[in-house]
Chain A
Amino acid sequence: MKNILAASAAALAAGIAFAQPVPQGYPADYAQTIAGAAKEGKVVVYSALDTKAAQPLIRDFNALYPNVKVEYNDMNSTELYNRFIAEQASGQGGADVMWSSAMDLQVKLVDEGHAMTYNSPESPKLPKWAVYKNSAWGTTYEPAVFIYNKRLVTGNEIPQDHASFVKVVNANLDKFKGKVTTYDIEKSGVGFMFVVQDTKYFPGMDDLIKTFGKAQYKVYSSTGNMLEKTSSGEHLLGYNVLGSYALVRAKKDPGLGVVLPKDYTLVLSRVMFIGKKAQHPNAAKLWTDYILSQRGQKMIGSDVELFAVREDVDAEYTAAKLTKQLGDTVKPIPVNAEITQYLDQKKRLDFLGHWKSTMQAGK
């Protein structure tokens, strides 16, 4: 009796594994990918998004593919890159999927041949700028915002665009001295990428840097610190803060205000690619397709509280809503080789040098 039960349970399990339907609109041979993934049993994801935030995605993916375990490793974006190249060099495959907000580092890895070329069936649904060489995909749509302390900064002290950020701080220098914050661009790759983009769109950038110097601005390598210290009143204004985190915190924290700059809003998109030497290539494809799918994107736009990059997704946080709100002032940073130019050592040091001297000049 026991044996029969066990046998039928096994048959049932096998049946589930094989009967896993190919998602709608996918090619029929996708069934092989699904079966292959089930055999591989797991996918190793390296990500800069912390595990807690990614939990809804992992749970939903597991509901969809119960046979594929997600081994999710979060670390900061630099660490992610360091670990990946060290593991590649040592020949010990680690990551199947890389997912990072350091867009430039991700593109660099793709250019250096570390990514698998994969014709994702979801690719055509993404905006053109978010697909790179059929190897890397922009998965989110996260604006760079201003933040302020709601208790202590009110009325027209709240900057609405980049120019007024400069004006407000200069006009109330006593109040804002030591209380303006942004990323430490020497430490934060994201912060660096944002200001490089700023120089493209904002002609008054040098004034802004000088103002930072004048106001003795405070720098951090992470978003959380800026949110915490602005909320507490230790700082009053924050510049170029990753909006996805800021908006989530602002929802719970009555002390924190968020502004989407009116003149232009930079948008970062977390880049995902599959490692060329991935040990679980099928599972990696499944995971990537899931993240790019409508279901995954909906989750990103709701429970994960990042912004969905796909236009055809309805959720609380989506690219579509942001575009509707801001029109064509939204400037997504494209996933392409242009963003890697500042990884050139000399160019980068020159940029940092200019930043530093301009900032000093303001003091």
Chain B
Amino acid sequence: MRASATETFPRAFTILVTATAVLAPLSLIFYQSLLNAPFFDAQKAAGLDAYRFIFADSDFWTAFRNSFVIAALMTAIAVPLGGLLAFVMERTDLAGRRWIEPLLLVPSFVSPMVLSFGYVVAAGPVGFYTVWARELFGGAPWGIYSILGMAVIAGLTHVPNVYVYASAALKNLGSDVEEAARVSGASPFRVAASVSLPLIMPSLLFSAVLVFFLGFELFGLPLVLGDPEGILVLSTYLYKLTNKLGTPSYHLMAAVAVCIVAVTFPLVLLQRHLLKNSRKYASIRGKAGRLKELPLGPWKWLALGIIGLWIFVAVLVPLSGIALRAFVTNWGEGVRLADVLTLEHFRDIAEEPTMMRGIWNTILVGVVGGLLTVACYTAIGFATHRRNDGWSRFVDYLVLVPRAVPGLLIGLAFLWVFLFFPPLTPLRSTLFSVWLAYSVVWLAYGMRLISSSLLQVSPELEEAARSVGAKRGRVSRDVTLPLIRYGLLGSWLLVFMIFEREYSTAVYLLAPGTEVIGAQLVSLWQGGAIDLVAALSLINVILVGIGLGIALRFGVRLRD
């Protein structure tokens, strides 16, 4: 009896803590949406006023429609392109794939705030590239401050999300069918379009749902590119409500968040369903003894062209824009670059204690926080590993929930938790609050990393240990954990990069002591300190770059 208590206690504890961390802030949001004033206001009353207000507000519906259009368009761009890139990278003999692949994944590790800002300074109406294009060709026929512009940028920068799933599925596919098509005279692209990509349809569908749903949550991009034009999407509409009535309208913001969740959570569930199905698909694959690469022949120029163009637009343009803006005092039409070069912005950052603290905190939350986070995720992983009971299913769904809520609002909910839940109040102005919010927001992503490591340990090893009498805890500690340690190290690196990149979650948690670059960027952008935004963005990119470099050096797989 006692043995079973010591066995179940750690598991029950882990599940309880996880459930509290996820559900407390979310139920607070839900509760807030049913009030007519901030929940801590003495004059609050329950009711559906908040929903009535937003449903009567034409801006809400415009924002909803824009979100939908952008999400749909970016899916339409990202899925075919991601699938095609995956085909070229996985199935053909294109040269240089080894060093192209990391480049393909770069956009998913750069903060959307940084990317968007990069597009403004690079390709905005008077961006570097726009001005150069005008000087060279007499015109620059692109407008990034439009729904279409945002959708294209979002689509291109979300290609990696499709690419990782499509390429993983293609890896599992035998090449015999493709060869059959080639022998019958189909061109490589015909093979891709008619044979390979249809075969991995479940994965493509899965990533389509993913991209669509990410599109619904876009924040940084529409904040930077859409706001000046008055183009609202749901998350920026929510942000706007902070001030629309002059005083904070938490109930309205919470109501919008609940509406967003009403759209995204079914998508998350659909995704889960599709993932299960795609695994089923993968298990009935043909047993191809070897994977033969498809010779591209002259088509390789087209393939290289597509890849090159995409890398140029999605990676080089924004990042070079940031890099350039960080070193100039001002820019625009009629400004000569050589006249305005400066290192002043970096000096300003070095002299500004809060900025330096922000940089330091960002590193800290990524390195130390990332390690702790991986430890927590691992504990949760063990709590469900190889147990097919109701609790495991509960945790499976639980970890998906935060993914459906915009990070901005989770951050706000955590601020409330830290303000009004007495045991946590002393920790409010510490980095712990940011770390906890980050860990909850990225739970779904992290758990995928951990469980894919766990699944690589084949059950007979654990069973062997159990059969000689080891208890579950002992098996986990002495068998499973040592076996997955490299997987965990890799997860640590990925979590580090994700934490460096995160921005919206910490916006409302920003206080002295909790500064992180991501939130500072939003705040500085709102405040209009563009010089500092550029310099800080560049520093952020460099931090992520260091993580990426280490990951590549040690051969960490950059995806789950």
Task: List the interface of chain A (C-beta within 8 A of B).
Answer: 50-52, 71, 73-76, 78-79, 81-83, 85-87, 89-90, 92, 104-105, 108, 151-152, 181, 184, 186-189, 192, 218-229, 231-234, 252-253, 255, 342-343, 345, 348-349, 352
Contacts and interface: CB of A to CB of B under 8 A. Distances in A.
Interface stretch (B237-245, B254-262, B399-407): B237-245
Contacts of B246: 104-105, 189, 192, 342-343, 345, 348
Contacts of A252: 329
Nearest to A252: B329
A222 B527 contact: yes
B243 A78 contact: yes
B245 A349 contact: yes
Interface string B433-470: 00000000000000000000000000000000000000
Nearest to B40: A89
A233 B529 CA distance: 17
Nearest to A256: B330
B348 interface: yes
Nearest to B244: A186
B41 A221 contact: no
Contact of B420 (A51, A90, A221): A90
B330 A50 contact: no
Contacts of A79: 242, 508
Contact of A151 (B40, B247, B334, B510): B334
B333 A86 contact: no
A221 B246 CA distance: 13
A264 to B, nearest CB: 24
B419 A255 contact: no
Contacts, number: 131
A86 B335 CA distance: 46
B415 interface: yes
A172 B280 CA distance: 65
A41 to B, nearest CB: 16
Contacts of A52: 348, 351-352
B335 A255 contact: yes
Contacts of B354: 51, 74
A105 B247 CA distance: 8
17 contacts: A74-B354, A90-B425, A108-B247, A151-B334, A184-B230, A220-B228, A222-B526, A225-B525, A226-B528, A231-B332, A232-B332, A233-B334, A234-B126, A234-B332, A343-B245, A343-B246, A345-B246
B65 to A, nearest CB: 17
B419 A86 contact: yes
Given A89-B41, A218-B229, A189 B243 contact: yes
B523 interface: yes
B329 A90 contact: no
A279 to B, nearest CB: 14
Contacts of A221: 227, 243, 526
B511 interface: yes
B333 A151 contact: yes
B38 interface: yes
Contacts of B329: 252-253
A232 B528 contact: no
Given A50-B527, A76-B526, A81-B247, A232 B331 contact: yes
Given A75-B523, A232-B333, A234-B125, A85 B38 contact: yes
Given A79-B242, A90-B419, A221-B526, 9 more contacts: A78-B243, A85-B38, A186-B243, A220-B227, A222-B525, A224-B527, A224-B530, A232-B333, A234-B126
Which of the listed residues B246, B334, B512, B530 has the most CB atoms from chain A within 10 Å of its own CB? B246
A362 B114 CA distance: 35
A228 B41 contact: no
B528 A224 contact: yes
Contacts of B297: none
A42 to B, nearest CB: 12
Contacts of A225: 228, 525, 528, 530
B29 to A, nearest CB: 15
A187 B243 contact: yes
B248 interface: yes
Interface string B239-280: 010111111100000000000000000000000000000000
Contacts of B547: none
The 4 A-B residue pairs whose C-beta atoms are closest, nearest first, are A224-B528, A232-B332, A89-B40, A233-B333
A234 B247 CA distance: 32
B414 interface: no
Contacts of A92: 419, 425, 428
Interface string B380-402: 00000000000000000000000
A188 B243 contact: yes
Contacts of B523: 75-76
Contacts of B230: 184, 219
